[in-house]
Amino acid sequence: MKKSINQLLLYLLLINFSYAFSQSQLSIEEPLSTRQVHLDFHTSEYIPEIGAKFDKKQFQEALKVGKVNHINIFSKGHHGYSYYPTKVGTSHPELKFDLLGSQLEACKEIGVKCPLYFAVGWSVLDAEQNPDWVMKDIDGSMLTANLDVNAKPDEIRPNYSWKCLDPTPGGGYHEFIMKNVKEICERYNDLDGFWFDIYHIKPFSLTTYSKERMISEGVDLNDKKAMEKSFALALKAHMKDLRNLVSEYHPKATVFFNSATHIANKSIFKEALYEMNTHAELEDLPTTWGGYDKLPLEAKFHLGKGTPIVAMSGKFHKAWGEFGGFKHPDAIKYEAAAMISFGASCNFGDQLHPSGMMDMETYKNIGKAYDYVEKIEGYGPGGTPVSNLGVWLSLKHEADQGVVNMLLQLHQDFVVADVDNLNNLEMLMLPSHRNLSTNESETIQKWVNNGGKLIVFGKGAMLTNKDIFGIDLGVNYESESPFDFDFTVLKNALEEDVVKTPFVNYDAAIRVNLSNGIPLAMIREPYFNRTYEKYSSHRETPYLLEDSKYPAIVQNGNTIFFSHSIDQLYFNHGMRIHRQLFGNAINRLNPKHMIKVDNLPSSGRISFLDQKNEDRYVLHLLYSSPILRADKVQVIEDFIPISGAEVEINLDKKIKKIYQIPSMNPVDFKVLNGIIKLEVPEFLMHTGIVLEY
């Protein structure tokens, strides 16, 4: 009983601290470093002479060549070994000196910030010595990442394979981490920060101590969602303890917990564990992980919360931590320019050789990118995304990213919408996965009634717990379609650049009935599904010659509803007709475009930031088209001069001066009916148009 009361008090305290921490994200006294490196160092005990070739001058020279002003260095890695003389943990058995201290000294001498990396979720030695700390599944089996615990010693081990550890309070691992971090805080003076890693690995754990906590909370152990929430909140309590500990010894230090910042339909995100960070770092490797359009959404979300951000990629070609993998310097340069454009500081991952010797070729490549970043870094970080178009998060990746992909390719800049900024928007898009509470739908309905313009895909306006729309779209929900696919036929609307004959949708629409809406397109159904009993030709069955009674697109005043999940269709199939339909719907509702860009190829990207402290807006324009050079590997290769891009900017503030970066040359413009019109001077890969007010 006493334990249950203590647990309740812990979570009440956590609720109070969550708000305080979310506010303190803005309390960093100095801006985040703009040219960072994340230096992995996960080294086996079977490799001899760890760090033996570390040379302070060579280490410093690499950072200078790379134009690096911040590097994350290792206190403890995934093998479980520390890289300094520790009395709490275990120093690497092949390390003969204080490597961490030597790296700290080297960085301090040349003014480079150096937060300390600390592995949490994966630690081989800790898992072997304390099997009760290893995460457990419902059946009591050990939870691992890509690891066969019954494999023979001589079998090839898969990449990224580790036992997963449970750091939640109440278990010995949390206390061990606290002691380890306290030792580091006491050993070294004036630490810049901590970088705690691996919090995304499993949604919940049933170690003895996690199970006891859940039982004391009354959690149903057959309810996975309830267990996920309990585990996430316990992780948040663990993070809070670590953040308090670091702050006690080093009040100015940054603290970051990796993976809590990624937008996902998981409790680690839904319970806002990112509030425990002093800032947000967005780990990625766009060549193979999330692609080059993952950054904009995450950047806009966290900047919209007022949180400074760092965008992370790697010097690697295919995977984080690969030895000998090199991305071309042009790709690093493009990625760095994109990071700055979307308001983020830059960070590129490297992995130090076990010898401790820095690879100079890596830092030459990074230096080529950071040479450009030096010219533009004052025009991104510190800026806030500004637009009157908003995307409401559904937390289904294919839906959210599908909307984002279409907007990026249509050059329609946007912000992430919620109830707090809704009244600043003129247009809102609801992705096709239902994620609206009754209160949220009522708030959006009031906004629509007051003139807000709304585009909805599929079930995006349905309540989470009922098969009804929470917003008046001029339709009523009837049922799912019995067909696997169907076709759309336009009705003298939204026809620009779209065929007038029926076109296929690879997933069928939901069936809705008209109430007071006007159909802009109808669904044409197939003769039958393709089955072993009935089939025709190679793929989809042809369409019937008459429209069904079900609308595909409906307008109801200033709302347009798509019965199809156009966003998910575009994410999965990339059919240009669907993107064009979306663009035509935006134009039909005719919002006041804050930014309008013409004559920029669809692979070009724009980002509009307001740097309030500098009294200026910056419109960033990027162009280099990622090319699929291998299975699931995207490569940046060609920089092509872009000329003739035309921009219209509609702002409430009076603009005093317009110029281009990085050239700093003035840009000719004219103002017609309050709208600024200009042609962007020819650029290669990136440029920015600065508007001082």
Q: Is the pLDDT of residue 425 over 90?
A: yes
What pLDDT band is residue 200 in, cutting at 50, 70 and 90? Answer: confident
Residues of the chain above pLDDT 90, percent: 94
Q: Is the pLDDT of residue 210 over 80?
A: yes
Alpha carbons 61 and 82: distance in angstroms, whole number: 25
Predicted confidence (pLDDT) per residue in 578-627, tens digit: 999 999 999 999 989 999 999 999 999 999 999 999 999 999 999 999 99
In 290-437, alpha helices (H)? 295-304, 329-341, 360-376, 397-410
Pairing of strands 453-457, 559-562: parallel
Rg of the chain on CA atoms, in Å: 27
Predicted confidence (pLDDT) per residue in 268-301, tens digit: 999 999 999 999 999 999 999 989 999 999 999 9
204, 268 contact by CB (below 8 A): no
Alpha carbons 148 and 145: distance in angstroms, whole number: 9
Predicted confidence (pLDDT) per residue in 504-540, tens digit: 999 999 999 999 999 999 999 999 999 999 999 999 9
Nearest Cα to Cα of residue 313 among 294, 684, 300: 294
> What DSSP state is assigned to residue 88?
S
In 380-497, alpha helices (H)? 397-410, 438-449
Nearest Cα to Cα of residue 35 among 451, 447, 376, 299: 376
Of 20-34, 107-121, 149-163, 444-458, give the lowest mean pLDDT range: 20-34
| pLDDT for position 213 | 98
Alpha carbons 308 and 494: distance in angstroms, whole number: 40
> What DSSP state is assigned to residue 378?
G
Q: Is the pLDDT of residue 10 over 90?
A: no
| pLDDT for position 290 | 86
Q: Is the link from the previous residue into 662 a cis peptide, with omega within 30 of 0?
A: yes
Alpha carbons 173 and 128: distance in angstroms, whole number: 12
pTM for this one?
0.95
Alpha carbons 298 and 262: distance in angstroms, whole number: 7
| pLDDT for position 26 | 35
What SS3 class is residue 162?
Answer: strand
Predicted confidence (pLDDT) per residue in 56-66, tens digit: 999 999 999 99
Provide the total of helices (H) and of strands (E) in the chain, helices listed first. Answer: 15, 34
Residue 571 identity: F
Q: Please give the structure tokens belonging to residue 636.
A: 């940046």
CA atoms within 13 A on the CB side of 336: 33
Q: Is the pLDDT of residue 348 over 80?
A: yes
**What is the pLDDT averaged over residues 407-428?**
98
| pLDDT for position 657 | 97
**What is the pLDDT averaged over residues 165-180?**
98
What pLDDT band is residue 337 in, cutting at 50, 70 and 90? Answer: very high
| pLDDT for position 30 | 78
Quickly count: other Cβ atoms within 10 Å of residue 222's Cβ.
8
Nearest Cα to Cα of residue 559 among 452, 468, 464: 452
269's enclosing H/E stretch is: helix 267-270
Look at the alpha carbons of 78, 83, 89, 91 in this order and tell me if their dihedral is positive or negative: positive
Predicted confidence (pLDDT) per residue in 236-255, tens digit: 999 999 999 999 999 999 99
Alpha carbons 348 and 39: distance in angstroms, whole number: 9
Q: Please give the structure tokens belonging to residue 388.
A: 């009157």
| pLDDT for position 14 | 47
Residues paired with 37 in a beta bridge: 71, 348
How many residues are present in the chain?
Answer: 693
Q: Is 431 left (phi over 0), alpha (psi -120 to 50) or beta?
A: beta
| pLDDT for position 18 | 44
Residue 639 neighbours by CB under 8 Å, 6+ apart: 330, 334, 624, 684, 685
What pLDDT band is residue 562 in, cutting at 50, 70 and 90? Answer: very high
Predicted confidence (pLDDT) per residue in 292-328, tens digit: 999 999 999 999 999 999 999 999 999 999 999 999 9
Q: Please give the structure tokens belonging to residue 551.
A: 């609308």
| pLDDT for position 28 | 52
517, 474 contact by CB (below 8 A): yes
Alpha carbons 431 and 433: distance in angstroms, whole number: 6
Residue 24 burial (10 A CB sphere; 0-12, 13-18, 19+): middle
Q: What share of the chain is helix, strand, coil (3-state, %, to 5)?
A: 30, 25, 45
Buried/exposed code over 125-162 (b: 16+ C-beta within 10 A; e: otherwise): bbbeeeeebbbbeeeeeebbbebeeeeeeeeeeeeeeb
| pLDDT for position 29 | 58
Q: Please give the structure tokens belonging to residue 203.
A: 């949604």
Whole-number average pLDDT of the chain: 95
Quickly count: other Cβ atoms within 10 Å of residue 664's Cβ.
9
Q: Please give the structure tokens belonging to residue 229.
A: 């929430």
Quickly count: other Cβ atoms within 10 Å of residue 648's Cβ.
15
What pLDDT band is residue 15 in, cutting at 50, 70 and 90? Answer: very low
Alpha carbons 144 and 157: distance in angstroms, whole number: 13
**What angle in degrees, to the nearest 10, is found between the helix axes of 397-410 and 566-573?**
80
Domains and their CATH numbers in the chain: 2-20+36-278 (3.20.20), 387-592 (3.40.50.880), 596-692 (2.60.40.1180)
| pLDDT for position 343 | 98
649, 619 contact by CB (below 8 A): yes
In 75-132, alpha helices (H)? 99-109, 124-129
Q: Please give the structure tokens belonging to residue 490.
A: 């336009």
Between the CA of residue 277 and those of 22, 29, 78, 236, 296, what are the distances in Å? 8, 15, 21, 10, 20
Question: Quick one: how far is CA 635 from the chain centroid?
Answer: 20
Alpha carbons 207 and 219: distance in angstroms, whole number: 15
What SS3 class is residue 115?
Answer: coil
Residue 624 identity: S
Nearest Cα to Cα of residue 693 among 415, 386, 341: 386
Q: Is the pLDDT of residue 12 over 60?
A: no
541, 535 contact by CB (below 8 A): yes
